[in-house]
A and B are shown apart, each in its own frame.
Chain A
Amino acid sequence: MFLQHLVDGILSGAIIALGAIGLSFTMKILRFANFSHSELLTWGAYFAVVFFAMAGVFGNPFAAPIAPFSFGWPLLVALVFSAVSTSVLALVLHRLVYRRLSRTAGHMTMVFASFGVALLLRNFVLLIFGADPIYYSTALQFAIRLPGGIRVMPDQVFLLGLTVVIVIALHLFMTRSRTGISMRAVSENPDLARVSGVNTDTIIAWVWVIGASGAAIAGVLYGLTVQLRPELGFALILPLFAAAILGGTGSLYGAVIGGLVVGISENLSVMVIPSTYKPAVPFLLILAVLYFRPEGLFGERNT
C-alpha cells in the first residue's frame, strides 16, 4: 500500500506543483499572498469545458481517443485555449484590481482584495455552470499495473509527463530568455532591476501569464483525473500555499518540490491518521515550515 500511496502522492503533487509555481512567483514578485490564485485553477478547468462544448459542434472531442488515453488531440488544444483564456482573465483582474491597489494601498490591502476576487470568481463559476460535478469524459479507462502492485491510469502518466515538460520549459525560460532573466532580477531587487532598464510592468504581466497558464493546465489535469466542481480550486488553496511556502517563494524548483512534498505527505498521511483529516495536512506542513525555517526550504533569507 505504501508504494501506491507514494505514487498517488507524486501524481497529485505534480498538479499542486503546477498550480503553486504561479502562486510562488506572485508572492515573491508581486509581494502579496494571492488567495484568488486557486480560483484560476477552477476557471482553467471550466474554460476547457467551454472549449469542448464549442468543439462539440463539430463532433465529439473525445470520439477518437488516442489509445490508451481517455482523450484525443483536442485535449491538447483545450489546454492551450484554457491557458490563454485564464491568462487573459488574470491580466484583466490585474488591470482592474491589483495594479490599482498596488499603487494606492499596501500589500495587505491586496490580500483582502484577493479574498473578494476569490469569492467573485468561485461564485461566478457556480452561477454559470451549476453546482453539479462535470466530467470531461465518462469513458472507462483500464489501469496500468506496475511492479509492486501499483496501479496508475494512462491519463495520470500523461499528466506527469506534461508536468515534467512544462517545468523543463520554464527552467529554460527563466535561465535563457531575456524576459526570464529580467523576471529573476525583479524578484531579487525590483528597484535595481528598474534602474537597470527592466520594464517592471511587462515583467509583472509575464508573472500573471505564467502563473495563470500553470494554474489553468493544473486545473484541466485535475479535472481530467477527478471531476470538475466549482470548489475545485478552493479545496486546493492550502495545498498550493503549503507548496509555495515550503519551497520558498519565488523559486521554480522550490514550488515543484514543495508540491511533491505536499502531495506525497497528504497521501501517506492516510496510513497514520483518519483520511477525513487529510485536508489538514498541508496546514500542518505550513506551520512546521514557518516555525522552523520561515524562508522555506529553497528560499533565501530576506532581511
Chain B
Amino acid sequence: MIGVLSYLIFFLILALTLGVAVLGLNLQWGFTGLFNAGVAGFLAVGGYAMAMLTGPSRAAVFGGFELPFVVGLLGAMIASGLAAIVIGLLTIRLRHEYLAVATFGIAVTIQLVCVNWEPVTGGTLGLIGIPNPTKAMVEGSLAQNAIYLAIVLIVTAIAYTGLQRLVQGPWGRTLKAIREDETAAASLGKNPVRIRLEAFVLGCMLMGLSGALYVGFIGYVSPFDFLPIVTFQIWTMLIVGGSANNRGALLGALIVWGVWTMSGFFIARVVPPEWQAQSGAIQAVLIGLILVIVLLFRPRGLIGEEIHVSRHARSAPADARPEAP
C-alpha cells in the first residue's frame, strides 16, 4: 500500500511538472495559435538555470551559486523568458509552419549547446547534486516526495489560476481575436505582433518553470533529458486534453504521462532483457499512435475549447460564432 502511494506521489509530481509546460504551450498554441515546436529547448533553459543557481559550486564549471530553491524557480523563469524574447523577436512574424520549423531548430540548437558548452553546462555528464529542498525539511523519501508534490501542486495552482484570469480577461480575448483573424484584430487597434510576443514569452516562462521543477526534483540535469521526444510528449498531452482549455491541458498531462509510465512498466515486465533497448521505441510508437488517432477521431481533444459568446452579441445568430480550430 505504501508502495502504491509513494509511486502515485512520484507519478503526480512528474505529471504535474510536465503539466505546467503544457499550460505554457496551451497559452501559445491553444489561445494564440503560435506553433512552438521547441518546447524541450525552453525546458532545458529553465532546468539548467535552476542547476546553475541552486547547485553546489564546482571548480570546473561556472555557476553553482547555492541560492534558495525559490530563487532557482524565479531565475529559471527569467532565463527562459529572456531566451524567448530574443527568439521571439526573430521569429514571431513568421507564418505558422515556418514558426514550427524555426522553433524546432531552436530546440535542437539549445540541446547542442547543452551537450557542448562544458564550462557552463557540464557537457554530456550534466550537472549533479542539485539540492532538493525537501531533503532539509523531513526524513524519509515518502515524506520528502509528499512535500515536493505539495510544492508542485501550489505552483501548478498558481499557474492555472493566473492563466485562467488572463485568458478570460481582455488580454485573453485579444489573443483569441488574433488567433482567429489577425487582420481584423489589427484593424481594431490591437498590435498583433506585440501581443503574440507577450503570449510566446509568458508560455516559454512556464516551460522554464517546468524544467526547473523537474531538475529540482530529480537532483541533476543532463542534456539527454531534453531530447525532441519531450516536445512530442507535451504536444500530445495538449492535443489529447484539448487545446484552448487549461483544464484539458492538465488532464492531458495526467493521461499521457500515465500511458507513458504504465506502458514503460509493462514493457519492462513483458519484454525480454535483450530487447530492452527497443522498449523505448514501443513507448514512442504509443505516443505517436495516440497523437494521430486523437487528431483523426477527436480533434478537439477530450475537453476542448468552451465557446464563449460576448454578452453584447447574444442576439446574433448562433451560426455566426467562430469555430474552434
Q: Which residues of A pack against B, CB within 8 Å?
A: 27, 32-33, 35, 97, 100-101, 104-109, 111-113, 115-120, 122-124, 126-127, 130-131, 237-238, 241, 245, 274, 276-277, 279-280, 282-283, 286-287, 290-291, 294
Q: Is the CB of B104 within 8 A of A238?
A: yes
Q: Is the CB of A245 within 8 A of B98?
A: yes
Query: Given B91, B95, B278, B289, which contacts A126 in the complex, CB threshold below 8 Å?
Result: B278
Q: A120-B285, A120-B289 are in contact. Are A127 and B278 (CB under 8 A)?
A: yes
Q: Is the CB of B232 within 8 A of A276?
A: no
Query: Residues of A contacting B288 with CB < 8 Å?
Result: 115-120, 123
Query: Given A237, A279, A291, which contacts B90 in the complex, CB threshold below 8 Å?
Result: A291
User: In the bound complex, how far is the Cα of B105 from the Cα of A105, in angstroms?
Assistant: 26
Query: Residues of A contacting B281 with CB < 8 Å?
Result: 123-124, 126-127
Q: List 13 A-B contacts (CB under 8 A).
A: A35-B104, A113-B291, A115-B232, A119-B291, A120-B292, A123-B285, A126-B278, A127-B281, A237-B104, A241-B101, A283-B102, A286-B105, A290-B102
Q: Which 9 A-B pairs have the closest CB atoms?
A: A283-B105, A116-B291, A119-B288, A33-B97, A120-B288, A123-B281, A116-B292, A126-B281, A123-B284
Query: Residues of B contacting A117 with CB < 8 Å?
Result: 288, 292
- Which B residue's beta carbon lies closest to that of A100? B296
Query: Given A127, A279, A291, which contacts B112 in the complex, CB threshold below 8 Å?
Result: A279
Query: Residues of B contacting A111 with CB < 8 Å?
Result: 35, 96-97, 100
Q: Is the CB of B97 within 8 A of A130?
A: no
Query: Residues of B contacting A282 with CB < 8 Å?
Result: 105
Which secondary structure dominates where chain B touches chain A?
helix
Shortest distance from the beta carbon of A129 to any chain B beta carbon, whole Å: 10
Query: Residues of A contacting B102 with CB < 8 Å?
Result: 283, 286-287, 290
Q: A116-B289, A119-B284 are in contact. Are A238 and B295 (CB under 8 A)?
A: no
Query: Residues of A contacting B325 with CB < 8 Å?
Result: 106, 108
Determine the interface band of chain B, counting residues with CB < 8 A from chain A. 35 or more
Q: Does B141 count as interface, using CB distance less than 8 angstroms?
A: no
Query: Residues of A contacting B109 with CB < 8 Å?
Result: 280, 283
Q: Give a binary string over B295-325; 1 marks a CB under 8 Å from any A CB, 0 the rest.
A: 1100100000000000000000000000001
Q: Is the CB of B295 within 8 A of A276?
A: no
User: In the bound complex, how far is the Cα of B19 from the Cα of A199, in angstroms?
Assistant: 45
Shortest distance from the beta carbon of B2 to any chain A beta carbon, whole Å: 35
